[in-house]
Chains A and B, each alone.
Chain A
Amino acid sequence: MNSTDKKPLQKVCIICAKGSIEDVYASLVMANGAVMEGIETRLFFTFFGLDAITKKTMMKLHTATVGNPAMRMPGGLPFPTLLGAIPGVESGVSSMMRSQMEKLDIPPVDEFLEMITAGGGEIYACKLAIDMFKLKKEDLSDEVKDIITIGQFYELADGDRTQIIFT
């Protein structure tokens, strides 16, 4: 097999618009995985996804225990929505998810962002959402390269073998 016959991906632009643990980690794992494969990587956070790059919230992401049909008890039994509404349940479930990920050597959000930029990946915040949530550049993680518009994002997505992924 000749590797020149293949046309590997050259660039991925990943958009993270949601702020729950699973949505943010899906974006981070895909972005880091792309960097590790030598693929040029740009990660764009918008709307509630901004929680993942906002200093105050990035280490306190949550998962939905109410209205989440895929939610299960540790043994696999269904997770009653009303149980998810009890105070403290959601934070217990979220911290359990974080500790499970730590066991698999999946880093916390701040360290994950550093890993992505260490390999040359670039992290951006959406200008519109930043204005809407009244955030400033200094509220964001130092790993964020810039606050850009959607037009600038499309400019960054140039090239033949580029994919845009929306999570």
Chain B
Amino acid sequence: MSEITVNGKTINLNDEGFMTDSSQWDMDVAKELGKLDGIEITNDHLKVLEYLREKTAAGETLTIRKVGKSGLVDIKGLYKLFPGGPLKLSSKFAGINKPTSCV
């Protein structure tokens, strides 16, 4: 467990750096989480993060294939935005749970 402070708010993270309370998420939190992994969060990143949060709220299982078909970004682009973790890093920055799908 660790915590970070964003705009005076304390955000709790689990051992793997995922937020423990998804409702605390906002754009500034996402930017701070990105910094921890050395990624600067741009508008292109945010579009993906918001998409992931929407789908998660709707109870859908996330896959990179689904993101690739969303029209926001193709799979190659997704890897460029989140190097080495197209679904894991993006889920982390979106403040949602670690992905549970195998694709």
Residues of A within 8 A of B (CB): 1, 29, 32-33, 36-38, 104-107, 111, 114-115, 118-120
**Could you say which residues of chain B place their CB within 8 Å of the CB of A106?**
103
Contacts of B68 in A (CB 8 A): 115
Give the interface segment out of B23-31, B41-49, B57-65. B57-65
Contact between A105 and B63 (Cβ–Cβ < 8 Å)?
yes
- CA A115 – CA B75 in complex, angstroms? 7
A44 to B68, CA, bound (A): 25
- Secondary structure type dominating chain B contacts: loop
- A38-B84, A105-B61, A115-B65 given; A29·B79 CB < 8 A: no
Interface centre among A32, A33, A36 (most CB of B within 10 A): A36
Cα–Cα distance between A1 and B15 once the two chains are bound (Å): 7
Closest 8 CB pairs of A and B: A38-B84, A118-B76, A118-B75, A105-B63, A119-B79, A1-B15, A105-B65, A115-B75
Tell which of B83, B86, B102 touches A29, judged by Cβ atoms closer than 8 Å: B102
When the two chains form the complex, which single residue of A105, A111, A114, A120 contacts B79, counting CB atoms closer than 8 Å?
Answer: A120
Contact yes or no, B85 A37, CB < 8 A? yes
